[in-house]
Structure formats: structure tokens, C-alpha cells
Structure 1
Amino acid sequence: MNRMVHTIGNENNTYNPFIIAKNKDIEIKYIDFGIENYGQLIRIEDSNIILLSQLIKGMKKSFFIVAHELGHYVLKHKNQVSDARVRDEFEANFFATELCFEFYREQHNKKATQPRQLLEYGMPMEMAMFI
């Protein structure tokens, strides 16, 4: 996963998930999800759209949500309801954690050494053990 994240960062000259999405022609739209969902990747024919909750618009936690949805895109996950969905969600979280780790380093010119440094990007606490 780390190699994949580095490749994407090098291809885009950034680890900023919003810029990566734009460079990959993935549209980002804000909608009213309510409080149950913050993001979703939608694939329609040759188009990809990341839907984000209006509740997180302008918040730093939106970086992790976009990174998570990019993980689904890069890892070619399908929309499914099965045991594979649990694995897909973990993989997307792991990808997002790695991407946000590198984005933190890009922004601060140093590695994140504490989970709280990535929590501001919206990283779930259960992913803290991977940094």
C-alpha cells in the first residue's frame, strides 16, 4: 500500500487528496447525507464522483474522507454488500491513513509521530496503530 501511495503522490506532485481527485478527473460534490455518512464514491459509466456530506465542507476531516474514497477508486473496489465490503472498507481506511500521513509530511515538512496529528484530518482512532 505504501508503494502505491508514493506512486500516486509522485504522479501528482502532492499527497493532497483533493488535488489527486481533480487530477484523476474525479468530481467532488457536496450533498446532504444527514449524519450517517460522510462520503461515497459513485461510478457512472466512465465518470467517477466522490459525494461528500455538506456537514464536513471546509473541515480538515474531509481530507481523510476524500482519501478513503480515493482508496476505493485506486483499489478498484466495487459497490457490494458482503463480507468483502468489510475488507474493502479496511483497505480504503489503510490507504487513506497512508495518504494522510504523507500529506502531513508534505504540509509540515516532518513525519507525523503521534496519532493526534492525523486525527485532525479525520482519521479514525482505530487506524492510529498503523502510523
Structure 2
Amino acid sequence: MVHTIGNENNTYNPFIIAKNKDIEIKYIDFGIENYGQLIRIEDSNIILLSQLIKGMKKSFFIVAHELGHYVLKHKNQVSDARVRDEFEANFFATDLCFEFYREQHKKKATQPRQLLEYGMPMEMAMFI
């Protein structure tokens, strides 16, 4: 799925993909509880990002994660399915950042720490 979306957009940059999919990105004050959220309002999709990560590397991973929810058609749920949805969105985001690294550096990331460049948390290393 990541390769398909990358090929469709001629990039793996999550910000460009969001723009191409007409997903607006807005920065808001989440406090410290949350860094991002995908919201759907009728036919519009918006990724809300915390002001705390504006301009930070972490924002790449967070946008990629929220794109994962969009692409995988996750619903906002409060249930056991939410745990699965978060796992799938993390997997998608890690794979997207992995391919974005390859796109930018013209070589494959061989160690999880290389993806820290895009704000990938080290606990996501299990997905590589």
C-alpha cells in the first residue's frame, strides 16, 4: 500500500502526499496529550498537528501515521479495534518514512536510528 501511494504521488514525503490528497494540515494547541489526529468532516479530511511539533522532525512521522489512518480507512473508535488501528497506522508510518529515507538518500536505511531523521520513535524499530 505504501508503494502504491508513493507511486501515485511521485514521492513518499507525507506532507506532499497529504496535500495531493487534499488533506489540510492545521496546527492547534493539543497540550501535551496528543501530537496529531485525523478528522473527517463530511467530504473533508484534516490532519490536526500539535503546535509543539511545528517544524520538528517528529512531524513527518506524525503526518505519516495520520495518513495511515486515512489510507487504511480507520474510523475513530473507542474499542479493541482502536489498538489494532494504532498498530496498523504505526506500521504504515514506519514503512512510509523508510521509503522517504530511500527517496532522499538514494539508499536503503539499514538501521532504525537513521529514521530518527523523520521523527520515528525508536519503539517503531520493530516494524523495520
Same fold flag (TM > 0.5): yes
2:116 and 2:33 mapped to 1: Cα distance? 19
Q: Output the TM-score relative to the length of structure 1.
A: 0.95
Which residues of 2 match residues 28-107 of structure 1 at below 5 A?
Answer: 28-107=25-104
Shift, 1:104, TM fit: 0.5
1:107 and 1:20 mapped to 2: Cα distance? 15
Q: Percent identity?
A: 98
Aligned length: 128
Residues 70-115 of structure 1, C-alpha deviations (whole Å, 9 max, x = no match): 0000000000100000000000000000000000011111111111
Give the unaligned 5+ runs of structure 2: none
Shift, 1:41, TM fit: 0.1
Q: Output the TM-score relative to the length of structure 2.
A: 0.97
Give SS of 1:49's match: strand
> Stretches of 4+ moved more than 2 A in 1?
none
Shift, 1:129, TM fit: 2.1
Q: Please provide the CA RMSD for this pair.
A: 0.7
Shift, 1:120, TM fit: 2.9
Residues 37-89 of structure 1, C-alpha deviations (whole Å, 9 max, x = no match): 00000000000000000111111110000000000000000001000000000
Shift, 1:130, TM fit: 2.1
Residues 1-20 of structure 1, C-alpha deviations (whole Å, 9 max, x = no match): xxx00000000000000000
